[in-house]
Amino acid sequence: MNITAQQVNELRKATGAGMMDCKKALIEAEGDMEKAIDVLRKKGQKVAANRADRAASEGVVLAKTSADGKFAGIVMINCETDFVAKNADFVDYVQSVLDVAVDNQAKNAEELAAMSVNGRLISETIVDQTGVIGEKIEIGRYACVCGESTFAYIHPGNRIATVVAFNKAGDQLAQAGKDVAMQAAAMAPIALDKGDVAQDVIDREIEIGKDQARQEGKAEEMLEKIAIGKLNRFYKDNTLLNQTFIKDSKKSVAEYLNDTEKGLTVTDFKRFALGA
């Protein structure tokens, strides 16, 4: 039957599918727009089933703060290839998902998947995208932070992003927020402060410190003390507030924040990186 360019364009806008896929779906649906949308959705489900065992190790990582600055979300949506990850339409899709997350203050990935964009559940649009792109697409990770003020940073290339929450707000904190968000992206801290490091990580670092000292020939009675010293160095390298501030090596991040405004500190942060 005669399918017009206007019909194809309308279906493409509604689904994001390619022009040829839209034309074929309309032909199969005999020009019925709703049936054509169903055809494309079924195609997405079929592609998703066929590619379920594929590794989706590439993708896009984006972060964003809410209009009032008190909430920030960070999302990683994975795909199979770097080619798709760099595609502007795919990046726009990830941004649309993040917009929904931040506007509705989603708390976790499950909550996000159940939210709607353009009348479709996010979980359904993931399947739709799989059909459009022909690769496995999935929400890899999602997290959020809340505070008196929040800041987001996306490293060029959309492979690393961070969100950071502070205990205070004000225009004068904008530079500090940007600096600390970039610090978290560059230095990859595993925790906010010493007390936030998991006990199994601490135990492992102490054992490693003891083994290293033992191999260096240190006396057995000195091993614990030496290991604790190494643990303190571990805290300095791997906890955000204790790290050396990248813009001033004479200060820790905590000292930099206190110098910016007395009592200012980070209350939470999240960092996502592809492959990490």
Compute the average pLDDT of residues 131-139.
84
pTM over 0.75: yes
pLDDT of residue 118: 73
User: How many C-beta neighbours within 10 Å does residue 162 have?
Assistant: 29
Compute the average pLDDT of residues 177-184.
98
Q: How far apart are CA 179 and CA 177, in angstroms?
A: 5
Is the pLDDT at 172 greater than 80? The verdict is yes
Domains of the chain, with CATH numbers? 5-50 (1.10.8.10), 58-189+264-273 (3.30.479.20), 194-250 (1.10.286)
The percent of residues in the chain predicted with pLDDT above 90, rounded, is: 63
Averaged confidence pLDDT in the chain: 90
Q: How far apart are CA 128 and CA 120, in angstroms?
A: 10
Is the pLDDT at 47 greater than 60? The verdict is no
pLDDT digits (tens, 9 = 90+) for 200-246: 999 999 999 999 888 888 888 888 899 899 999 999 999 999 999 99
pLDDT of residue 44: 65
pLDDT digits (tens, 9 = 90+) for 6-22: 888 887 777 766 778 87
Tokens, residue 165: 């929450």
Confidence of residue 165 (pLDDT cuts 50, 70, 90): very high
Q: 30 — alpha (psi -120 to 50), left (phi > 0) or beta? A: left
- How many helices (H) and strands (E) the chain has is answered by 11, 8
